[in-house]
Amino acid sequence: VIGHPKYQDSKRIAIFLSMPDEIQTEAIIKDIFKQGKECFIPRYKPQSNHMDMLKLSSAEDISSLTLTSWNILQPSDDDSAREEALAGGGLDLIFMPGLGFDKKGNRLGRGKGYYDTYLERCMKHPSGKPYMIALAFKEQICELVPVAENDVQVDEILHEDC
């Protein structure tokens, strides 16, 4: 990931905070700050499909986040001091989680449509659609994953055998 040309060229990067069954992203987050890039993480709104990408000030900032009922760390609902990526310069790159992926770039998420809805908003931003890389275990690559009309394909899937 760290040697990927799209990562190297990106200044504003959104990345998920890993759940135990996902590719672990802590080392990538530390490198984002080491390289002087801006790091944004998801804040999901419960009972909706709305998500924002909020700016972290440092890798250590993660320890100030709250744990949701889904066991995901994220900025609290009343945290209004953080920049939302689309309120500023948009995003260059988004690292995305998922449960399964196919070779066409289709992604099976957890069913709420958070990323698809967020990407619709990205496409309306002046900076345009960010490059999207899914981080996966090779076991998550399938022949075909079910998709709906509003599902957005990822640009690339990275796994350990790439």
CATH number (domain holding residue 76) = 3.40.50.10420
**Pairwise CA distance, residues 65 & 78, whole Å:** 12
**Pairwise CA distance, residues 146 & 124, whole Å:** 26
Question: Binding residue per annotation — 108?
Answer: yes
Question: Binding residue per annotation — 90?
Answer: no
Note the pLDDT tens digit of each residue in 95-143.
999 999 998 999 998 878 899 999 999 999 999 899 999 999 999 999 9
> Cα 76 from chain centroid?
18
Domain count for the chain, please give it.
1
Note the pLDDT tens digit of each residue in 50-103.
999 999 999 999 999 988 887 889 998 888 899 999 999 999 999 999 999 998
Question: Binding residue per annotation — 113?
Answer: yes
Question: Binding residue per annotation — 22?
Answer: yes
Question: Binding residue per annotation — 114?
Answer: yes
**Pairwise CA distance, residues 10 & 24, whole Å:** 20
Question: Binding residue per annotation — 107?
Answer: yes
How many CB atoms are closer than 10 A to CB 157? 23
State mean pLDDT over 25-42.
97
Note the pLDDT tens digit of each residue in 36-52.
999 999 999 888 889 99
**Pairwise CA distance, residues 121 & 86, whole Å:** 8
Question: Domain containing 79: what range?
Answer: 5-158
Contact present, 157 and 133 (Cβ < 8 Å) = yes
> What totals of helices (H) and strands (E) does the chain contain, helices first?
3, 11
Question: Binding residue per annotation — 43?
Answer: no
Give pTM, 2 decimals.
Answer: 0.94
Q: β-pairing, 66-67 with 73-74?
A: antiparallel
